[in-house]
Amino acid sequence: MPDANGRGDVVLDVEDLRAYFFTRWGVVKAVDGVSFQLRRGETLGIVGESGSGKSVTSLSMMRLVPSPPGQIVGGRVMLDGEDVLRYSEGQMEKIRGAKIAMVLQDPMTALNPVFNIDSQVGEALRIHKRLSGSALKSQVVDMLRKVRIPAPEARVRDYPHQFSGGMRQRVVGAIGISCDPVVLIADEPTTSLDATVQAQYLRLLKDLQDETGVAIIFITHDFGIVAKMCDRVAVMYAGRIVEQGDVRQIFNNPSHPYTEALINSVPRMEERNDRLYSIPGQPPPLWDLPGGCSFAPRCEYAHERCVEYPPVYELAGGQTSACWLRSG
């Protein structure tokens, strides 16, 4: 059922997800009790510094955590009402790249240099939609047209190195949406692109979303991109979501000190010449987390209570915050 704000049905419901790596240094708790929901047509940003567990969260949903040393040790990932953590590998293969798809971080490595664009865009359509021959060919051309590749009929025979970085990125986008996914995960879709190409690509993803209603998870360390692109945001720190809610509400009124610090590190136009604020200190090693709030060593508001890990507080408007300052 759509919610009170007219947003679509819940298509993804992640509950208490835990994914650990069992290494010789100890147990790396890369994802440690992550919960969020995603509705049809909605964009959720997952934001946090490097190593906070964003990619392992998405790999867990796709059931692609490398094992060993990784293992999903708990939780539920309800996709369209079914827990994919209970699926067999055979069932996963049917939905991976189809019902739930992922656009990878780096368009250079996401495309295979030895195959032409035709075979790479066509692969998922061949496997999941069982298309072949001229039907497959015309669908591939259609997908390339959708992601605004000029003269797609001619370009399908080209190889990745014959495309610019921005075009390769769009081809990866075409592969991601080729089988009409319910959920598309875009993991740092913009790092290797310049600002203009990046803006065009993000716009394209939003247009595709308007056309298809696909729910998008946007993974980035840039709160500026989240503010522009997303409806809701989940802020990750050391394997956990520390704050979650409506993007505008959080951007204007962050309730967790880590979110506040992340927002302060977004460059502002008028401060172009100033030195960028960056969060002092380093995230803690995930195999040796301090007791209590993981952000405490870097937090200017830390106090006696923070030696205990804070519970998740529910604030007005559906915002949540895992910080003792919100205890009332």
Residue 308: Cβ within 10 Å count:
11
Q: Does 324 bind ligand SF4 (CB under 6 A)?
A: yes
Q: Does 144 bind ligand SF4 (CB under 6 A)?
A: no
Residue of 310, 313, 319, 320 interacting with ligand SF4 (CB under 6 A) = 310
Q: What is the spatial distance between Cα 81 and Cα 11, in angstroms, rounded to a whole number?
A: 7
Interface stretch with ligand ATP, choices 48-56, 141-149, 150-158, 174-182 (CB under 6 A): 48-56
Crossing angle, helix 133-146 and helix 117-128, to 10 degrees? 110
From Mg ion, ligand SF4, ligand ATP, none, interface partner of 23 (C-beta below 5 to 8 A by class): ligand ATP
Q: Does 115 bind ligand SF4 (CB under 6 A)?
A: no
How many residues at the interface with ligand SF4, by CB under 6 A?
13
**φ and ψ at 221, to 5 degrees?**
-105, 10
* Token duo for residue 102: 């992922």
**φ and ψ at 70, to 5 degrees?**
-85, 155
Residue with Cβ nearer ligand ATP (70 or 176):
70
For every residue of 185-239, DSSP letters joined together read EEESTTTTS-HHHHHHHHHHHHHHHHHH--EEEEEES-HHHHHHH-SEEEEEETT
Q: What is the spatial distance between Cα 178 and Cα 128, in angstroms, rounded to a whole number?
A: 10
Minimum Å gap between C-beta 105 and ligand ATP is 7
Minimum Å gap between C-beta 263 and ligand SF4 is 14
Minimum Å gap between C-beta 322 and ligand ATP is 17
Q: Does 302 bind ligand SF4 (CB under 6 A)?
A: yes
Q: What is the spatial distance between Cα 256 and Cα 299, in angstroms, rounded to a whole number?
A: 10
Binding mask 254-293 for ligand SF4 (x = CB under 6 A): --xx-----------------------------------x
From ligand ATP, Mg ion, ligand SF4, none, interface partner of 21 (C-beta below 5 to 8 A by class): ligand ATP
Minimum Å gap between C-beta 328 and ligand ATP is 31
> Which residue type sits at 178?
S
Q: Does 21 bind ligand ATP (CB under 6 A)?
A: yes
For every residue of 62-117, DSSP letters joined together read TT---TTTEEEEEEEEEETTEEGGG--HHHHHHHBTTTEEEE-S-HHHHS-TTS-H
Q: In 3D, which of 216, 156, 133 has the Cα closest to residue 181?
A: 216
**φ and ψ at 77, to 5 degrees?**
-130, 90
Interface stretch with ligand ATP, choices 50-58, 90-98, 111-119, 259-267 (CB under 6 A): 50-58
Q: Does 301 bind ligand SF4 (CB under 6 A)?
A: yes
Residue 180 zone, left/alpha/beta (φ > 0; ψ -120 to 50; rest): left
- Cα–Cα distances (Å) from 230 to 55, 68, 110, 269, in that order, read 18, 34, 24, 20
Q: Are strands 100-103 and 183-187 parallel, antiparallel or unpaired?
A: parallel
Q: Does 308 bind ligand SF4 (CB under 6 A)?
A: no
CB closest to Mg ion, residue no = 55
Q: Does 51 bind ligand ATP (CB under 6 A)?
A: yes
Residue of 296, 313, 319, 320 interacting with ligand SF4 (CB under 6 A) = 296
Residue with Cβ nearer ligand ATP (103 or 136):
103
Residue with Cβ nearer ligand ATP (21 or 201):
21
Q: Confirm if 81 and 266 have CB atoms less than 8 A apart.
A: no
- Residues in contact with ligand SF4 by CB under 6 A are 256-257, 293, 295-296, 299, 301-302, 306, 310, 323-325
- Residues in contact with ligand ATP by CB under 6 A are 21, 23, 28, 30, 48, 50-56, 66, 69-70, 221, 286
